[in-house]
Amino acid sequence: MLALYANDSAYFASSRRADLAAKRVQRVFDLLPEWLDKWKMAVNVSKTAALLTGSQRNMTDQLRLRGQAIEWKTCVRHLGVHIDRLLRIISQIDHVIQMSRAARAKLRPILAFRLLIKTKLAIYKCYIRSRLTYAALAWYALCSKLQRQRVLAQQNIVLRVIAGAGWYVKNDVISRDLRVETI
């Protein structure tokens, strides 16, 4: 199956045997240069990666595109979502938390300043929540309970700063009073 979006593309092949799936992908890689030349497109082989999902650990067949070897990776990034070989989404959660922490650190002086709560919430929704929920429809269902709690904790920290609430106020009360849906 071929998936194209803007300047990003992916080819998916499945089989019970990893070597058969690799042969299917290699067949597409063999036909790809002709198609790319016809449509005057280029592919950056150094950015191309292969990912084997499932329980098999090592891949024996080396994939090649335009004579260059394609590296087998344990985690790839497609459309901004980190996909690991076991589909546990651990690296995606770590990335989301890192991005939200960075945004929160940059915005902390603004969020701690005496602005209207409505303005602070707009800043939160625009800059921080968008990082927490980017492509969440694709990865949130694969998250474990602990991973969901980690993402929710990031939201609760920001809402606590926005509200100026003390440690004794429950997170549910803060989100209810601010009328913010939990992630």
pLDDT tens per residue, range 1-53: 888 888 888 899 988 888 888 999 999 999 999 998 998 988 889 899 999 88
Q: How far is CA 135 from CA 64, 92, 97, 131, in A?
A: 30, 10, 14, 9
pLDDT of 114-152, one tens digit each?
899 999 999 999 999 999 999 999 999 999 999 999 999
Give residue limits of the domains in the chain.
Answer: 2-73, 90-178
Report DSSP state, residue 4: E
End-to-end CA distance of the chain, in Å? Answer: 32
CA distance 149 to 160: 16
Query: Would you say 128 and 103 are in contact if contact means Cβ atoms under 8 Å apart?
Result: yes
pLDDT of residue 94: 96
Q: Are 100 and 128 contacting, i.e. CB atoms less than 8 angstroms apart? A: yes
Burial 6-31 (b: 16+ CB within 10 A, else e): eeeeeeeeeeeebeebbeebbeebee
The model's confidence at residue 177, banded by pLDDT at 50, 70 and 90, is very high
